[in-house]
Each structure stands twice: as structure tokens, then as C-alpha cells.
Amino acid sequence: MTDSLLTLDNLTKAYPGVVANDKVSLSIGPGEIHSLLGENGAGKSTLVKMIYGLVKPDSGRMTLHGAPYAPAEPKAARASGVAMVFQHFSLFEALDVAENIALGMEKPPPRRDLSEQIRTVSHAYGLPLDPGRRVGELSAGERQRVEIVRCLLQNPRLLIMDEPTSVLTPQEVDILFTTLRKLSAEGTAILYISHKLDEIRSLCDSATVLRLGKVVGSCIPAQSTAREMAEMMIGTSLKTPTRPAGEPGEVLLNITALDLPSTSQFGTSLRGVDLQVRAGQVVGIGGVAGNGQEELLSVISGEACVPTGHITFKGQDIGGLGPNQRRALGILSAPEERLGHAAAPDMSLVENALLTGTLRKGLSRNGFLDWTATRAFAADIIDTFDVRTPNADVAARALSGGNLQKFVIGREVLQAPTCLVVNQPTWGVDASAAAAIRQALLDLAQQGAAVVVISQDLDELLEISDLFAALNGGRLSAPRPAYGLTLDEIGLMMGGAHDMEVAHV
């Protein structure tokens, strides 16, 4: 392989107790869009961190442009022409766009020149940016543009993208892909990590599949089906969530003309939200992150109280009830932020099971905790939802994101809610676990619960929802039957691609 840009040869990296990468070899040519596929914990992140110089391999070699390549730190990687867009944005909210970009460059030009460059480059690639704006005020899509432009200004030969589309609207995804194809045509290789197999099929030239740290295969995405790729990733056949059709029952949750002023600096105010959820119904709520999702969840879960007359449950006004009073009624929730909101990071899984389960599972008596019952409850969650953990006493922080997500969802589902609201239930969860979580939500609806699923994964919403609505700037669109909705229609409901435009040239 003389014409390859980057070659990995038998890269191995072990952490205590787990081999993250076991003799991984792959090769990427100039201008190639190469996808890296695998479940959570398959070792994708570790692999790209090695390429980007954040992690040192235990053994194995890398060559870039035919020369040995062993970056000691990200600076060295950037100097060699390797740039990376992170899954969790590595941005500084209190700083402005130009400052953020300057931080990612080795020798940034003076501020005025840099601002000019940002305008030029961001415009040329269809990602317009105002250099003087504070990043904290930008939407998720705009933040990603900052990251991408930061990379582009360094004329990278290889661009690594870790789950770039998870927070974008379909239109934004299209624009991103146009940009990536343009880059590829200019000779920049792209290493692309995503869970969304359809995207990979439309974008990528080749794919390498990792499972448990090993390369288990490669394919040409355009010539494989999404199902084939998913099965290669998980090593077994994939179950699609199913549910027999049923008639929805009475209205359980009824929200009318609800306004909620935002309490935080960067939050969104809810405006005139109307929502009815019936027993046995799954309502999917889409929208780009930061358009009121967290606020909507907090209104239903009881974290935010509202005046009487706006939210009722089985006809009873619950606007003034707190989370525990609502739990008693059967309204449970699983918020998006796993560490810190849904689970206490430094407490064990047993303790975390106790935190929301006390009331409905009867885990305390006369003010004393019943640890035996709590342990049994935690063990039940771990078994039922296949949470991979050494035992129930490890801290929540120690679990991988996908496993903790399974735990958090499982904890609520097993409390037999009458109404469950979840935000991003399968964020960062691999295909088989995501399918299991979706199945659990469908089963819950099947048993007569009202389920509200807030998500940014539109495929997921279309797969499991009966009704679909979109949040945009704190307003909720009128729900429509999810069956038969096209991505274009949904994109319009979500407010389109804002001020994005297709790449010039």
C-alpha cells in the first residue's frame, strides 16, 4: 500500500482489566472517507485518540505519508496534518468563536486576520460563522461548525470526526455531508465515527468494523445494508423492536397552553406548549438540542412547578407537585444528562437505584433504608437490562455511557410507571442495546403506560412513536401521526436548517 495516507499496523492498547485495542490494522487513502464502526466499548474512541496523540499505543506502528508517525501529544498530531472534531464538543462557552478557534491553532494570526480567515473559510464551506459571538450562545449545530472550521483552518490531511451528526437536524446533516464530500474531493481523508448506519452508507467509501477491540471485518458501506453492518458490529443478528398495534386509551397526561420562563442563562423558555398523551401511546418529540427539551422534561417530571390549570394527570392538576409526589402518582422520568442529573456519579449503582426507587419500590421503612430490597432492585435492573458491570457496588461514573444509560432507563421502567418521560434514551448506546431500550419503552406502552420520548435521533422516533411533534425555540408543533412522515417534513417541523447554506463552488 504505497499510496495510503495513514496506515495503522497492529496497534494495541490495554487498560487495566481490558484490552481496548488488540492488533488493529487499517489504512486510509488520500481523499477517502473511511468509517469506523463498532458498539460502545469496541475501542473506536481509543483508536482515534491514539491517532490524535491523546493516548500512546502499547505496541504497533503508525505511518503517515509513508513516514513513521508517533504523535506524543495533540500538538504533534496537528502539526502533521491530523485534526479532530470531538464527540463532546471541546469548546469554551465563555469565550468567543475566534478565541476558541485560536486555541486550537499552533500559531494563530493576529485577531483581525483570524476573524477574516474564519469568515472566508466558513463561508466557502457553507458553514457561516460570526467570529465575535460567544460560543455559549450558539446552537449545537453552530458549535459544531466552530469545531470544523477550527480544523479546516489548519489545512488538515486527515480529519477525524467522532459522532458528528448526533445533534444536527436532517438539513444540517445534509450540509455537513456536502462539506465533507467537498473536503474529500480536495484530497482530505476523513475518518468518520457514527452509530447511524444509513449516514455511513450514503457518505463513506469504506468501513472498518471493530468488536471488543479487534477488527472483525471491513466492507464497502454503499454495497452493504445497514442490517448487515449492524450484525457485523454486534456479532449476532439484530432484533427490531416490535409491538402489536393497539388502540390508545384515555388521556393520561394533558398539558395546555403552558409557558415556562427559562431559569438558566443558556436555557430556553417554553411557550404555549400543548400536549396530550394517552394510555398506551408513545409520543416522540424531536428537535435540535437546546430548543426546550430539558425544560419540557422538567415540567413533566416535576422538577419545575407551574401554576394550576396547565398540566393534569388523569384529570388531577399536578402543576404544583414535586418529583416525589408525581412518582407516587406514577409519573417517572429519565433525563438526558446521565452523570449528574439521572445518576449521582460517585454513588454506587445500588445507591442510585435507591435514589429514585425508594417510593415506588418501598425501599425505606420508617425513615430507615432497606438495603436488602435495594440490592435486589439494583440486581434486577442489571439483569433485565443487561448492564455490563463487575457488580452493583461500582460507582455510576465507572460505567460506560451506554451501560449507565441502560441502568438509568431500566431503573425507571422497572418501577412500572403509568407515565414515563425520557430524554435521549439511546444517546451513545450501541445498536443492540438501543434496540433493547426501545423495546422496553414499547412494552411499557403496550402495558398501558403513556410514554413521552424526547430524542434527537429521528430514526428512533419514527421507529417507536405513534405521534411525532417537534420542539423549536420552546414551542411544540402540533403532534402528527408518525407513520408515513418523511425526513423532509420532519425537518420543516423542526424549523429547518436555520441559517445554514449549501457549500459554494
Q: Residues in the site for other proteins, rule: CB under 8 A?
A: 49, 53-55, 73-75, 78, 86, 89-95, 99, 102-104, 108, 136, 265
In the complex, the smallest distance separating the C-beta of residue 54 from other proteins, rounded to whole angstroms, is 6
In the complex, the smallest distance separating the C-beta of residue 134 from other proteins, rounded to whole angstroms, is 9
In the complex, the smallest distance separating the C-beta of residue 100 from other proteins, rounded to whole angstroms, is 8
- Output the CA angle 398-403-406, nearest 5 degrees: 135
Which is closer to other proteins, CB of 93 or CB of 380? 93
> What is the distance in angstroms between the CA of the first residue and the CA of the last residue of the chain?
32
In the complex, the smallest distance separating the C-beta of residue 337 from other proteins, rounded to whole angstroms, is 15
Amino acid of residue 401:
G
In the complex, the smallest distance separating the C-beta of residue 139 from other proteins, rounded to whole angstroms, is 18
Residue ranges of the alpha helices (H) in 94-237?
97-103, 111-124, 140-152, 170-185, 197-203, 226-234
Which is closer to other proteins, CB of 143 or CB of 278? 143
- Alpha carbons 431 and 173: distance in angstroms, whole number: 20
Rounded to 10 degrees, the C-alpha dihedral 151/287/228/389 comes to: 80
Burial zone of 175 (CB within 10 Å; 0-12 exposed, 13-18 middle, 19+ buried):
buried
Which is closer to other proteins, CB of 143 or CB of 201? 143
- With b for 16 or more beta-carbon neighbours within 10 A and e for fewer, the 257-293 pattern comes to ebebeeeeeebbebeebbbbbbbbbbbbbbbbbbbbb
Which is closer to other proteins, CB of 107 or CB of 365? 107
Instruction: Provide the grid cell at 106.
Output: 499552533
Strand runs labelled E in 327-396: 331-334, 364-365, 368-369
Which is closer to other proteins, CB of 17 or CB of 244? 17
- Alpha carbons 129 and 118: distance in angstroms, whole number: 7
Count of residues for the chain? 505
Which is closer to other proteins, CB of 319 or CB of 428? 428
Which is closer to other proteins, CB of 86 or CB of 177? 86
In the complex, the smallest distance separating the C-beta of residue 151 from other proteins, rounded to whole angstroms, is 11
Which is closer to other proteins, CB of 136 or CB of 323? 136
- The answer to whether the CB of 290 falls within 8 A of the CB of 269 is no
CA distances from 51 to 60, 83, 205, 400 (A): 12, 10, 20, 22
In the complex, the smallest distance separating the C-beta of residue 55 from other proteins, rounded to whole angstroms, is 5
- Output the CA angle 114-120-124, nearest 5 degrees: 145
- Alpha carbons 148 and 153: distance in angstroms, whole number: 9
Which is closer to other proteins, CB of 87 or CB of 333? 87
- Alpha carbons 119 and 349: distance in angstroms, whole number: 48
Q: Which residues contact 391 (CB under 8 A, 6 or more apart)?
A: none
Which is closer to other proteins, CB of 99 or CB of 459? 99
